[in-house]
Structure 1
């Protein structure tokens, strides 16, 4: 939450300068509306924006949980089962190499214009940072600690569950922090390609009608959702890694 406060203080001079520039140059509103115009548009279209925000928020939430869960399971699998990991991980890397703008039309074609295609897009974007960070954390356990664990009566799976996973949790939190700002991007890109609701749909519709103030209002809401999701991850970090000083 402190980072959000610092960001708000940093943005205030930018918003004031933006509004001053609009007052000074008086460009057409469809080219560059001022912050006050954007605020007025958000108030005027508040109900419509709210309903579409809830659609995008549901896509973000479900996609984030699905992508994070899939990333965690994949990381555990490729590290716990190295032979399987040597087969699975190259496939993951190839999938990650495809640009999201290439995948989005295919997902809409396969899953339709509804919620599912946006959730899958969001999950795909979230998946790789979480899987990569967590897998690296699981692999970077000091060998001396693993050797000491081998001297006890703990089985390989007990060592994995009680030593590897807890020590890799800070890496998982780092992956979630990297992934959080990407979740709204996945949902909005999916909505740009094909949707009947959502903030991306609002942007496309408003841009076609040259309602630039509505476009900026939708962009501002997406930015707020991004900050809130990152703040939620930061708030969850102490619960995920209570023993770590650096959360």
Structure 2
């Protein structure tokens, strides 16, 4: 039997935030508009979703928000995101492509309300390689079992304070773990981090990794989300969600530079 083992050494720093903190009880919250604005340099990969709910941490069939007017601008160009006729509450603009070192502004007009946000991109950071160490008969395994300790490797941009999220997909299945990184301890240097997960694999299985470069506001959003997702039944009450949306909505507006690499196991 062969197993794939990802190991993660968390490097998540919780920094005092100047972003707005919305006091939303997670169990019985007032209904609010949720903005999920995920824009990137992936062709046809940018979308904005609007819904209503009491919490951004629950998976549920939230009410989708239709009929909004949504515009994104970088001060030079303007992109209008139109509602997808096949998916209520999802807004698309297939011509949008994020570029490095830009500031993007979002405006959402919906139901007489206006929500705004901004997100910044820095220099593009790419994955140098995906590597693994093959271990046969490791601790707690049969002598014939094979494990793969898998790493992603990249070189940090020294010119900015950088924030990252890595998302691995094993055979197309997205990992449920959050891999969030800032460059406080390795600014401008090579960085290598192992993943953590476990599963049986066979020859030819594929690991795809997406490395998202993001600004600090989005990093704080995802660390808050990860904290609440990882809370156990006897953990303290989750913290309030951090948002970079102004005007009364919650959620996030993120413009990301994404790099993708693929590793096929023998």
> Quick check: TM above 0.5?
no
TM-score by length of 1: 0.28
Larger radius of gyration: 1
TM-score by length of 2: 0.27
Structure ranking higher in helix proportion: 1
